[in-house]
Amino acid sequence: MAAQRIVLASRPEGEAELENFRLETFEPPAPGDGEVLIEVSHLSLDPYMRGRMNAVKSYAPYVELDAVMTGQGVGHVVASRAEGFAEGDLVTGMTGWQSHAVLPGAEVRKLDDSLPPSAALGVLGMPGFTGWVGLNTFGRPKPGETLVVAAATGPVGSMVGQLAKRAGLRTVAIAGGAEKCRIAQETFGFDAAIDHRAFDTVKDLRAAIAAAAPDGIDIYVENVGGDVLRAVLPLLNDHARVPVIGTIAWYSGADLSGPDTLPNLWRQVLVKRLSINGLIIFDHWGDYPAFLEEVGPLVASGEIASLEDVAEGLENAPEAFLRMLKGGNMGKQVVKL
């Protein structure tokens, strides 16, 4: 059986590049006692993976040099020595960027095969679940409020926007480019969409957001950082909530030249009684069944839409990943093997 994997060849300095990855072939091991061998059909590419490429202490171990890139995959069981799993089962788990993975049965989850396999990676997977937790647990939405989210056509942003809209909020999308703005409104039902690439300065971007959020911002779900954050901060209302889910704009390094904007943020936190909460989805898996129960039927019925950007072939995963980091994807980035 010919198997392929992509390993971390070197650590990026600043922006990640193709040369940081290496495609290898290998002989997949047979599953041990309690394990399954999965043939991966779909691999998820997510912004958090950029963080794992750096040898920096974080909430999860970083990827060692020459080790397989970490990531979630979907596929079929091709050999099982784990109770409850049989050949042919559609499953998901942290397979990594490879065509075949051996995982303990306890770390693998069977999928409902009435939905597209890749749904488990996006709208009903980690990104969708992250959006649901971020909005509900830390955003605490109330009807009539205004929500802003960036990367609004991505799998987190689009989930946040659709759930907030269903909860009776005014929803404002920020996205890169006119096409994404169109999709944000037409596919995901945002009330307004702002192309952050259309503005040269934070001030101009802020004016556009202010116009789209005439009553101010009550919830800013943070998944980008950078200029969007700087534009949004002064527009937050008293008692606004800011769930911090990601800071993709800063994953390859931030512009740290002055002025120091922390004192002003701190003043805003105090004066406006802001509530800022970091969210790492691993802390919340206990709520995943409740998420599936609520959102699964809405996805099946089409009431919650999703959008995927599918790259073909494991060998193209690095290029698709780098493109995604620059916002070049249109919807949840998946690799079909």
The least distance separating a second copy from the CB of residue 58, rounded to whole angstroms, comes to: 5
Minimum CB distance to a second copy smaller for 59 or for 186: 59
Cβ burial, residue 189 (10 Å; 0-12/13-18/19+) = middle
Check: CB of residue 134 under 8 Å from CB of residue 219.
Answer: no
| Residues contributing to the site for a second copy (CB under 8 A) | 58-59, 222, 225, 229, 238, 244-247, 250, 254-280, 283
Distance of closest approach, residue 102 Cβ to a second copy, in angstroms:
30
Residue closer to a second copy, measured from CB, 114 or 282: 282
| Rounded CA separation 75/23 (Å) | 20
Kindly state the smallest distance separating residue 82's Cβ from a second copy, in Å: 31
Distances (CA, A) of 162 to 35, 181, 286: 38, 14, 23
Task: Give the pairing type, strands 35-44 and 100-104.
Answer: antiparallel
Q: Which is nearer to a second copy, 286 or 302 (CB)?
A: 286
In whole angstroms, the minimum distance from the beta carbon of 70 to a second copy comes to 16
**C-beta of 278 vs 313, nearer to a second copy:** 278
Counts of helices then strands in the chain (DSSP H, E): 9, 15
User: Minimal distance in Å, beta carbon 205 to a second copy?
Assistant: 17
Nearer to a second copy, 59 or 109 (CB): 59
Decide: 7 and 66 in contact? Cβ < 8 Å. Answer: yes
Selection from 185, 180, 121, 181 nearest residue 155 by Cα: 121
Pairing label, strands 73-80, 90-93: antiparallel
Element (H, E) at 51: helix 48-52
Nearer to a second copy, 283 or 319 (CB): 283
The distance of closest approach from Cβ of residue 157 to a second copy in the complex, given in angstroms and rounded to an integer, is 16
Q: Is 174 helix (H, G, I), strand (E, B) or coil?
A: strand
